[in-house]
Structure 1
Amino acid sequence: MADTSAGDWDERLLLRGASQPPQEVAAVAPFPRLPVNSRRTGRPFLIIAGKARTALPIAFHAAESAATLEVERGTLFLLVPVFLAVGALLYFQISFEPDGRLLLAATATMIAAMTFGPRAAAWRLPVLAVLLVCLGALLGKVETWRAGTAMLGGEVATRVNGYVTGLDRLANGRVRLTIDVASTERPRLRYAPQRIRATARKLPEGVAVGSTVSGLVRLRPPSGPVRPGSYDFSFESYFDGIGASGFFMSGPELASSRTASLAGRFTAALENVRNRFAERVRQRVAGAEGEIAAALMVGVRAGIPDETSEALRRTGLYHVISISGLHMALVAGVVIGALRAGMALFPGFASRRPVKKYAAAGGLAAVAGYLAISGGEVAAQRSFLMLAVMLVAVLCDRAALTMRNLAISAIIVLVLTPHEVVGPSFQMSFAATAALVAAYAWWSERRNAEAGTMPAQPSFAAMALRRTVGIAVGLFVTSLVAGLATTAYGAYHFQRIAPLSLGANLVAMPIVSVVVMPAAVLAAAAMPFGLDGPFLDLMGKGISAMVAVAEWFSRRSPVDAVGLISVGSVLLLTLALVIATVATTWLRLAALPFALAGLLTLDNVRPPDVLVSEDGALVGLLDAQDGLAVNRTRANAFTAQNWQRALEGRAVHKPQRIVERPGPTADKRETGGNRPRQGDPIDDVPPAAARNEKTAGSEADGPTLESIALAARDGGGFLCGPAGCAARLMSGAVVVHTADAEEARRACAFAAVIVLDDAAVPLKCADERLAVVTRRDLARSGSAAVFLTPGAGPPQIDFAIGLPERPWHGHRVFSREARGLPPYRRGKQGKPQDPLAPAGTDVPARAATDSRAATADSDGVDRVPIVPDSSPKPSSGADAGETSGRP
């Protein structure tokens, strides 16, 4: 029998069978000693190499264990909406329209590879990722096909008869109507949009949602981005079903109503309830506070004054106005808290019944009603889905605030409306929510780890102080986490940040959470009984305090413009955010290098030297005073402010006129007359007159464009005369803008950038180092950004819209400017007149009554692609394109 003394005992003997005799244990070879860093050896790198040989396997094993733990915790499911979003984003951002059959075939191939391929994770996980990307792109394609919005091709005035589906009262007193078009006449549009938005000075008695109205409306298509990479209005209009916007030149008048469907009558009734609700709130709470109260309760925010909205934006409080997850959560919280408190008054019932589930069901019903009464905007729908998933989890005895529930909400949103992935609302909403949920999970882990210790029983004062400090710290951390998660997206989309948003939110959010929203819930509950007055008064006082906070911080806020942000940096920061919020182990530290790389490359983008609006009327550049110099005295405010933020300009500098041309022509040449320009607010645009005739500048009438350019100083802004406008960049390069083709041709000899505000005349300079942008180029491809090469290389011109056009840009090819035709004008007594014909020559009657002739500049009735030939059109007689429907 083996000796079992303590010194010779080997526990491995217990693992052997009873029939096997004990054997000698082989001695374990000692681990070789690493060389000592001494003067004798002189080789410290051997120590590092030895440590690396031992550290790398340990690190690899630790990473493998952490990854296995992540898989066991279900982290891979959280990546499903991420890859779906990547697929949808790729679909909407590429410059061409992919074939749906190819997307379907790619998705089917990946499904087959998953089904019949190897079972190893090394094969299945990459294939699953590609499958989700293909599926996201396919969902985007399906939504694009499902929308199929008919878009207007160009400006037109026509009489519209339609069904009112939406009604908003604006801050300037006008009314904005959303109309489902039933018919058009004088002229009849063969390719009329199905839904339009039009503003009116006033409404006749009896007009409400569900009424049928008619009137003469000046329509124009949704505009594209004001600069390459900015917000695309036509993209949103396409998926919102809006094919044109404009204003009533006469009317609207109440017309004979048509029989609507049951769904239409229900929607109209609900919309009228919203409007009556908002009107009651405005009557009780006057001023901007009443408009904000109406926005919070029923989602009607069109009447909020611009200065109040700007103060809220500058301080990061505008999210309070838009109904989103914050409002849904507050409404659900107030209702759930009230229900649980009420049921707690009956101890017997509360002890035997799942009152928490009952309260959650009541909260779900409340937010569903809130969604319906608030108008059901996309942001509200997304927030409702997120909150509904969490409340359903409570009904199923699951945790509510989990990343899994957030992933389910994101999947639902991406399946229903994948186009939202490219917008700032989706990105900022889910980024903030993911960061908050991850932060809450981390805090919960730390709190549970410390739950074993029993603290001493504090006094009432100490407990109240601790609770107050806890609420303040919670608000601070919430604002800080949400702000850090969304700052990059706000800076990228809007080129601005709110430097004092943290302080403003710390002061204002307790007012909103404790006073404003609870009062709103109580007012809504008491309104059917006529007892809402005191609650609305309390809500108005809370809103007044919030607005006062916003205005105080806004006056002290520094410049909030940050300029252009690199797309690559936003992608790196997004990847860092995904890793930090999805991972639950120490693997979340892998987000640090991506976050650092994103921060270091934020400004890795070159601003353009010259910006041109898509209508060819506005040109902007930076001057020597770090201001945005523009060529128009009445520059469109929205476009100018967007350019100013993108170029980090301190102010907008108007042009200087060196010689006034006699008569009204010169003034109209500089300001563009009354013709609406891209980005002009519909409410402020009067009925447009025909485009002014172009007259060449001469020395007799004023200085030529070349003499204006010689008079311009480097970085001194624009100088304008009858022939056009000219400016010099700080590098000395000359930028000219003119509507005179002859002046533009002569500018080829001295200018570096030429903008010709004429679509009917082709222009090409012999020197390829010149950047030439014509009105036709802009009509086809949208606004332009010009980058000049410091050496002698050719310039780079980036257009906002690529070719071939995507479905939401396809309407652009049918405008007169895109086809190289001059503007359509009317002669005496309202008769159509060919702009190329001699004065007094009218278009034949057939062309005057044919919608293809009367609306060729707007609805694209001929529906033919742009022909490459840009030769000038005939100079007399009716334009063949207007009569036959061909360009």
Structure 2
Amino acid sequence: MPFPLIVRRAMPRWLARSPPLPADAPDPAPGWLPRTLGQEREAWILWLPVAVGLGIVLYFALPAEPWPLLFPLALVAGLAVLAVVPPWLIPTLAARAGVAVLAGAVLAQAGAARVQAPVLAHPLGPTVIEGRVRQVEPLPHGWRVVLEDLALERPRAVTLPHRARLRVHAKAAPDGAMPPPGTRIALLARLEPPRWPARPGGYDLARALWFKGIGAVGYALGPISVRPAPASPSDHALAGFFVRLEAVRAHVTARLIAGGPGATGPLAAALLTGERRAVPEPVQEALRGAGLAHLLAISGLHMSMVGGLVFVGVRAVMALCPPLALGWPIKKLAALVALAACLGYLALSGASVPSQRAFLMTGLVFLAVIVDRRALSMRSVALAALVVLAARPDSLLGPSFQMSFSAVIALIAAYEALSRYRARTRAPRGARAGGFAPGRRLGLYVGGLLLTTIIATLATTPFSAFHFHRVALYGLAANAVGVPLMGTWVMPWGLAALALMPLGLEHWALVPMGWGLDVIVWAARGVSSWPGAQVAVPDGPAWALGLAALGGLWLCLWRQPWRWAGVPVIAAAMMVPFLTPTPDVLVGPAGKLVAVRADDGGLLVSDRRRERFARQVWTEAHGGEAGRFPGEGTSALAPLRCDALACLYQRHGVTVALPRTAEGVVHAAGQADVVVAGAWTVPPDTPAPVIIDRPRLEREGAWALWIDKNGHVRARSVAETRGRRPWTATPAP
């Protein structure tokens, strides 16, 4: 069955049936827009996941949780409107787009309700906690463990979450090895509610953990003891399968880390099982600085390498047996084996969003080989996006989904355009010389590699700039070394290590694999040390990222000349962060850390030892650290004057009091327009119009303040940006 028919039959009839073109039923006022849309008929279906994604964004952007029946009823109303809309092109397309948007909102709200689970309301412990190991992630000096079926050794009047995530030091595990998933353990630990963002508009860990069913985080304070695992009424075959799969992943990861010398083991685990947290931080920093961090994220590059290596290898082995080669369709059999290998790799790697997308697309390619059809790549991406969004609507908000799909969409669009150009300019078959010289083949390979790297880098730049606040400028040079070496040397030896692991001989393959990884790390360290290797990008509004994404989709999905209108849209969106005012004052979630804007645009921090995570987030998003508050006197870097009791920061005629002691609150409050008391409570009779003290921090979390040239102060808290949603019900930590 042709792939377009597969797509159409898998969708509702109202979606598969294209509206009539203007020539069949002309619009009341036909013009340029209906004609252009009619010429883009084949691209309409590609905008379906975009509309669904807009509906998901609509749900998450709401300041409060909507009524549960709001979007379902709106969807029903939209379908009713679609049934009576005039059969003209633009009204029909608009109605269908609106229905798809509402369907996306329904998916998002249903996904949030599906994973709803208790969240720890207040810190708990130290106390002995018992639970079943669900997941084990290796760290440089221990593990990050997810426990489920929690219970307290001494019962308390507290609602426990279904799952909790703990950091466990290597010394706490018996015999230095973490018990595998499925084991019931007990340990002395402290649990807390998932932390709020460290700044307004920052990464929301509580929301991410909500969709994973994790309602508490914490750390172990004592050794682990293994307990008998009684049968749970919630156990079933599927849950048991996933637990055993996690146990296999943990075992393979441990074997890889232990079997490779130096950083080879952790890097091999990152490439084969998706566990990247054990990779030493200096190595990760070098890879990020050189634009090679994508090599550690299992995606289309790795999936296609695994599938391609298995396909070529199995087909070559079958071709050596004449009866098999002559009597059986060895190409289809090899594609079937490669598809099974990709499925196994997906399971072993943890089924992250990029690997899901890569498996769906690679699987469609092998299925096309099996059924003697040609896979339509851009429609494959659309189908893969719909599947991922339906299963995990929240993944749309993360960098993994955004960067993975943006890269593959841009690559397919570019190579489709290049193929059409070559088809128009190609010489007649008789006028071309047969074959390619080896030198030309090498040139085409190198040129294709460089072009692929440039396209993928440009496509992912807006997302890396928004999420990570920096862009690697020399990624082309590093990828010219890393990508070919990964495909021709590292991944083949990685597959060999997995094949040899049942025999206990994985070390034989990990050693040569490490040689290639050492070269990649060496190249990353060299490139990242070049002057200006990274460009810092300030924090920008989320709508700017959405605008850049829509501009890129407009450029890639359409085929007519109007597609080029997406280029200025992307350029304008990329300029927004540099034109957005940065905060002048930042207050940490616990009130123990304050930062003010220096004259050079950097941040002066009140303390380098407290709230280190918040300080790291601030310096990445709002400019590097320029220094710290002076002990006493006036700072040479900012309009900041300090004494033993308090600091006074002045900007555009506004005085901000930053008390250092309880006495400093009373001392400085009377002479300031803004009082940031941190861990203290400001007296109720304080005349300052803006007061941020301990009660407000406990209710609303971290704060950011902007002071414009007219002396107007705009204050924004984390609670204001998060809204009132299911994952925001716990108080600020």
Q: What TM-score does the superposition give when structure 1 sets the normalisation length?
A: 0.74
Q: Which aligned pairs between 1:240-639 and structure 2 lie closer than 5 A?
A: 240-259=212-231, 261=235, 262-346=237-321, 349-350=324-325, 353-400=328-375, 402-449=377-424, 450=426, 452-454=428-430, 457=433, 463-558=437-532, 559-639=534-614
Task: Give how far 1:226 is off.
Answer: 1.5
Q: Which aligned pairs between 1:640-659 and structure 2 lie closer than 5 A?
A: 640-649=615-624, 651-658=625-632
Give the Cα separation in 2 of the matches to 1:515 and 1:189: 57
1:563–1:648 CA contact under 8 A, matched in 2: yes
Task: Give how far 1:250 is off.
Answer: 2.2
Of 704, 710, 714, 1:795 maps to 714
Tell me which residue corresponds to 1:712. Answer: 634
Q: Which aligned pairs between 1:828-843 and structure 2 lie closer than 5 A?
A: none
Tell me which residue corresponds to 1:228. Answer: 200
Task: Give how far 1:291 is off.
Answer: 0.7
Q: Which aligned pairs between 1:692-711 and structure 2 lie closer than 5 A?
A: 711=633
Q: The residue matched to 1:119 in structure 2 has which SS?
A: coil
Give the Cα separation in 2 of the matches to 1:293 and 1:279: 11
Give the Cα separation in 1 of the matches to 2:461 and 2:391: 27
Closer, same or farther: CA 345–451 of 1 in aligned 2, 3 Å: farther
Give the Cα separation in 2 of the matches to 1:511 and 1:588: 36
- Structure 1 gaps, min length 5: 1-59, 659-710, 818-887
Q: The residue matched to 1:240 in structure 2 has which SS?
A: coil
Give the Cα separation in 1 of the matches to 2:698 and 2:301: 41
Query: Which has the higher mean CA deviation after the structures are superposed, 354-363 or 293-302?
Result: 354-363
Of 37, 56, 69, 1:67 maps to 37
1:154–1:221 CA contact under 8 A, matched in 2: yes
Which amino acid letter does the alignment assign opposite residue 190 of structure 1?
Answer: V
Closer, same or farther: CA 515–657 of 1 in aligned 2, 3 Å: same
Q: CA offsets, 1:367-397, max 9 Å, x none?
A: 1111112223344333323333343344343
Give the Cα separation in 2 of the matches to 1:177 and 1:599: 38
1:810 aligns with 2:729: yes
2:682–2:691 CA contact under 8 A, matched in 1: no
Tell me which residue corresponds to 1:750. Answer: 671
Tell me which residue corresponds to 1:848. Answer: none
Give the Cα separation in 1 of the matches to 2:722 and 2:47: 33
Task: Give how far 1:259 is off.
Answer: 2.4
Q: The residue matched to 1:796 in structure 2 has which SS?
A: strand
Tell me which residue corresponds to 1:737. Answer: 658
2:701–2:717 CA contact under 8 A, matched in 1: no
Q: The residue matched to 2:578 in structure 1 has which SS?
A: coil
Task: Give how far 1:556 is off.
Answer: 1.4
Which amino acid letter does the alignment assign opposite residue 203 of structure 1?
Answer: A
Give the Cα separation in 2 of the matches to 1:534 and 1:250: 37
Tell me which residue corresponds to 1:778. Answer: 697
Q: The residue matched to 2:214 in structure 1 has which SS?
A: coil
Which amino acid letter does the alignment assign opposite residue 254 of structure 1?
Answer: V
Task: Give how far 1:717 is off.
Answer: 7.8
Tell me which residue corresponds to 2:162. Answer: 194
Give the Cα separation in 2 of the matches to 1:632 and 1:292: 35
Query: Which has the higher mean CA deviation after the structures are superposed, 405-414 or 118-127?
Result: 118-127
Give the Cα separation in 1 of the matches to 2:403 and 2:95: 29
Tell me which residue corresponds to 2:135. Answer: 166
Task: Give how far 1:750 is off.
Answer: 2.0
Which amino acid letter does the alignment assign opposite residue 275 of structure 2?
Answer: V
Which amino acid letter does the alignment assign opposite residue 393 of structure 2?
Answer: P
1:735–1:751 CA contact under 8 A, matched in 2: yes
Tell me which residue corresponds to 1:94. Answer: 62
Closer, same or farther: CA 333–212 of 1 in aligned 2, 3 Å: same
1:214–1:252 CA contact under 8 A, matched in 2: yes
Q: CA offsets, 1:54-109, max 9 Å, x none?
A: xxxxxx977654432311xx211101000000010111122111112111110000
2:654–2:711 CA contact under 8 A, matched in 1: no
Closer, same or farther: CA 654–575 of 1 in aligned 2, 3 Å: same
Give the Cα separation in 2 of the matches to 1:317 and 1:751: 49
Q: CA offsets, 1:665-700, max 9 Å, x none?
A: xxxxxxxxxxxxxxxxxxxxxxxxxxxxxxxxxxxx
Query: Which has the higher mean CA deviation after the structures are superposed, 173-182 or 135-144?
Result: 173-182
- Structure 2 gaps, min length 5: 1-29
Query: Which has the higher mean CA deviation after the structures are superposed, 539-548 or 728-737?
Result: 728-737
Give the Cα separation in 1 of the matches to 2:65 and 2:275: 36
User: Normalized per residue, which structure has more helix?
Assistant: 2
Give the Cα separation in 1 of the matches to 2:36 and 2:638: 61
Closer, same or farther: CA 803–175 of 1 in aligned 2, 3 Å: closer
Tell me which residue corresponds to 1:204. Answer: 174
Closer, same or farther: CA 473–156 of 1 in aligned 2, 3 Å: same
1:134 aligns with 2:102: yes
Tell me which residue corresponds to 2:24. Answer: none
Which amino acid letter does the alignment assign opposite residue 175 of structure 1?
Answer: W
Closer, same or farther: CA 478–735 of 1 in aligned 2, 3 Å: same
Give the Cα separation in 2 of the matches to 1:758 and 1:636: 13
1:655–1:717 CA contact under 8 A, matched in 2: no
Task: Give how far 1:486 is off.
Answer: 0.9
